[in-house]
Structure 1
Amino acid sequence: MTFQNGELVRIRGESLIYKVLAVTRTMITIIIMNPQPDGQHYAFNDKSIQAIDESRLEKIVL
C-alpha cells in the first residue's frame, strides 16, 4: 500500500488518527491529528510524532 503526505491513517489496532508527514521507502512519519473526529484534542507527547513501518498502518476515509 502506498501512502502520501497529508493522508489520514491509523495504527492497526488503535483508535487515534494520525496525519502522514513524510514517506521514505517503507517508513512513514506520522503526527497525531487534532482534533480527532470525536472532537477530542490530545496533548503532544512522545507518541504524537513517530516513524513507523507502513505495514502497521491503515488508511482512514472520513
Structure 2
Amino acid sequence: MTFQNGDLVRIRGDTLIYKVLAVTRTMITIIIMNPQPDGQHYAFNDKSIQAIDESRLEKIVL
C-alpha cells in the first residue's frame, strides 16, 4: 500500500488515529492526530510520534 504525507492511518489492532509525517521506503513516520474523531485529545508522550514499518499500518477514510 502506498502512503503519502497527510494520510490518516491506524496501527493494526489499535484504535488511535495517526497522521503520516514522512515516508521513506517502507518506514513511515506518524504522529497522533488530535482531536481524535470522537473528540478526545491525547497528551504528547513517547508513542505520540513513531517510525513504523508500513506493513503494520492501515489507511483510514473519515
Q: Is the shorter-chain TM-score for this pair beyond 0.5, marking a shared fold?
A: yes
2:2 maps to 1:2: yes
Deviations 1:13-45 (A, max 9, x none): 000000000000000000000000000000000
> Distance in 1 between the 2:14 and 2:47 partners?
12
> Distance in 2 between the 1:6 and 1:17 partners?
12
Question: Aligned pair count?
Answer: 62
Shift >3 Å, 4+ stretches: none
Q: 1:5: how far off?
A: 0.1
Q: 1:6: how far off?
A: 0.1
> Distance in 1 between the 2:48 and 2:60 partners?
17
TM-score, structure 1 normalization? 1.00
What are the ranges of 5 or more consecutive residues in structure 1 without an aligned counterpart? none
What are the ranges of 5 or more consecutive residues in structure 2 without an aligned counterpart? none
Q: 1:52: how far off?
A: 0.0
